[in-house]
A and B are shown apart, each in its own frame.
Chain A
């Protein structure tokens, strides 16, 4: 009985659709050269900003008059929540690019984004729970905000599993892209759940139209922590995408080597 030949991954360079813009980065050599220069700066910047943000949040920002020291959990929880939602919006955009323009790098980016997205969403839920216990007296409540974020976590995990479930990478990417686009419906539900439903979770305080309902002594370190975590998240995802491009290049090189040896024999 013959075994099916392993599917070769979609070559990054040769099938790149015509057009400028982002399609220029479908060239693996160009992408690897660019990320080789960019990544050390991104890691360094993330370390500096996050180091400053952490010190500010833990040592220099004031305790809250009601929450006490527990307010310092907010400096992790809120950036994780924004990254979970912003990252998912990025996943939806990459999925759309993959389905409409068949951009091969968008497939890889979506594939590498989902484990990191699942991690930040899990951190958002865990830190929220750690805050909720002393403040609300409970680790968890099935209110609309928390439940919709839990659904987001399952969407991330589902996407990560689905794109890896197929032998043929392209089919997995296509199925994952459809799931990601359908799941994007959950984003406005998360955002406005606190306004649409009666929830235990408080309404928006930082992004409130008008003036943010937070003292600047807490708002500024929160913004610095958010920028730091975002830079770290971006560096992490970009490093994973870079490794994935190198692995795909390796597989194509090994296939070319095997064909050459077969031709010589």
Chain B
């Protein structure tokens, strides 16, 4: 692989890594909030 292709691969890899980490964090945060909301009573869920 030439040096040019290395730079291309790193650039695209960084973008994939950045968006991947952000998407994973968002999914984890969403799942945690959903699980904790489910533990509340139906009345409190409505009030929130």
Residues in chain A within 8 A of chain B (CB atoms): 28, 54, 58, 68-70, 72-73, 76-77, 80, 115-116, 119-120, 122-123, 126-127, 130-131, 133-134, 229, 232, 236, 239-240, 242-243, 246-254, 256-257, 260
CA distance A239 to B27 in the complex (A): 8
Interface hub of A73, A232, A250 (most chain B Cβ within 10 A): A250
Interchain CB contact (< 8 A) of B8 among A70, A119, A251? A70
- Given the contacts A236-B22, A246-B34, A130 and B11 also touching, CB distance less than 8 Å: yes
Q: What 10 A-B pairs come out closest when comparing CB atoms? A: A249-B48, A253-B44, A246-B33, A253-B48, A252-B48, A239-B26, A243-B29, A256-B47, A127-B11, A243-B30
Interchain CB contact (< 8 A) of B48 among A123, A229, A256, A260? A256
**Set of chain A residues within 8 Å of B43, measured between Cβ atoms:** 256, 260
**Set of chain A residues within 8 Å of B37, measured between Cβ atoms:** 246, 249-250, 253
Q: Is the interface of B mostly helix, strand, loop or mixed?
A: helix
Question: What total of chain B residues lie within 8 Å of the partner, measured CB to CB?
Answer: 30
Query: How far apart are B5's CB and chain A's nearest CB, in angstroms?
Result: 6
